[in-house]
Amino acid sequence: MDSVDKAIWILPFLAVADVATTLYVQSLGYSLFAYEAGYFALMAVLTDLIYVYAFVYVLIIAGFSFILYYIKKKLDPLRVFDKVLFLFLVIATGYIYTTLTATFIGNLVMPLAETRGLGWWYTVRILAYFSCVLSLAFYLWHDVVTLARTKGGENEL
């Protein structure tokens, strides 16, 4: 299992952390309308189906992780098109990973936003997002470069 596989399989755990911290913030009395950005999440809050939505949300992220892993295993590192698909797969995984991590950290510091201001909360989320992007870039760099340097045969496409 390489570092890309590990990044893919950590996504469902980050989704669980996101849901747990969202429910934690809601239990403290904070309204999810103030900071929940997703359209379906807002609909779930309006209809009091947040627990059903949370379960479905984790299942969707787990299914998406399985699909990403399946696609990665089917890629041939000797074909140029598969190398491009691998790069898109890494970018998609990184985007989901950083978004879930920034949301998780943002939910944890939400109680402090009341005392320090909402601008501080957005700053913490942005810093978490960019630090996660940098750490993932360093973590996944070796696997991406190794696959990109794999030499193909005469018929690469």
Q: For residue range 106-145, list pLDDT tens digits in order.
A: 888 888 877 887 788 888 889 999 999 999 999 999 988 9
Is the pLDDT at 35 greater than 90, yes or no? no
More confident residue, 38 or 25: 25
DSSP 15-71: HHHHHHHHHHHHHTT--TTTT---HHHHHHHHTT-HHHHHHHHHHHHHHHHHHHHHH
